[in-house]
Amino acid sequence: MKLALFRGISPQLLLAHFTNPLIYLSRTMAEVSGVSDMRAPYRTHGDAFDVDDLVSREPFLQFKNWFEEAKLEPNIEEANAMALATATKNGSPSVRMVLMKGFDKNGIVFYTNYNSRKAAELEENPRCSCMFYWEQLKRSIRVEGSVSRLSKEKSEEYFNSRPRPSQLGALSSNQGSIVDSRKTISDRFKSLSETYKDEDKTIPKPDCWGGYLVTPDLFEFWQGQTTRLHDRICFRRQSPGEKVDEKLTHIGEDGWVFERLEP
């Protein structure tokens, strides 16, 4: 019976089991789960992404081009989903998924609860990084920039456009606060639903809920290659007085420069 526990385990790991149990455990978990062997083909060398493939010499139009392609991909349900990374002033990071709800040459817009952890970190360190990843296209876009709150009027305009259940959800939740049970949240939602059951009755935007604008100063466009020689083209703001090596750095438009990065 005990020997059956070791069936299928390599002799090297059996030796590790008796000499160093910690090594045995970690290496056995890797063997059993097969994580180290997980890989999928990306794009081929003939489908590379280079500076000549850019649709614009500034990043906003390039972003729009890739985003529109992602929207048209039937297997991508939410092309506007992005990972939002923030950090405290001491550099302790956190990341979560949010939805982009606006984009133009001013930047990227998202909405959240101003009492949340991300909001608290943005108050003390108003910079963030956003990542869009579209696996079906083997593409991602990383954005870095400064963050500022939207006006109350703009936040209210968007809040009033949301479905009523989403409005009630924002009103029901003290985002990030500890709660004793799911039932407490559900009861709060049911109570508010009863209060605002009249469809003509306006649901007020909570004072603690609103939008942010990410003003980008860096975009990185990434496209995966099966060889792992991935394509990376980075747009950044040219620093005042910066002299660039035009063999490596391309002068773009509207104060942007762009460079190809090694994978």
Q: 3-class DSSP state for residue 232?
A: strand
Alpha carbon separation from 149 to 20, 108, 109, 113, 214 (Å, rounded): 54, 12, 9, 11, 9
Whole-angstrom distance, CA of residue 23 vs CA of residue 223: 36
228 is a catalytic site residue? yes
Site of tokens 């305009």? 157
Alpha helices, DSSP H, located in the chain:
11-19, 21-33, 59-72, 117-124, 152-161, 164-172, 182-195
Write down the catalytic residue from 228, 232, 236, 260.
Answer: 228
Q: Which two tokens stand for residue 110?
A: 């998202």
Amino acid letter, 16:
A
Whole-angstrom distance, CA of residue 214 vs CA of residue 216: 6
Helix, strand and coil content of the chain, in percent to the nearest 5, comes to: 35, 30, 35
**Which residues are catalytic, by number?**
228
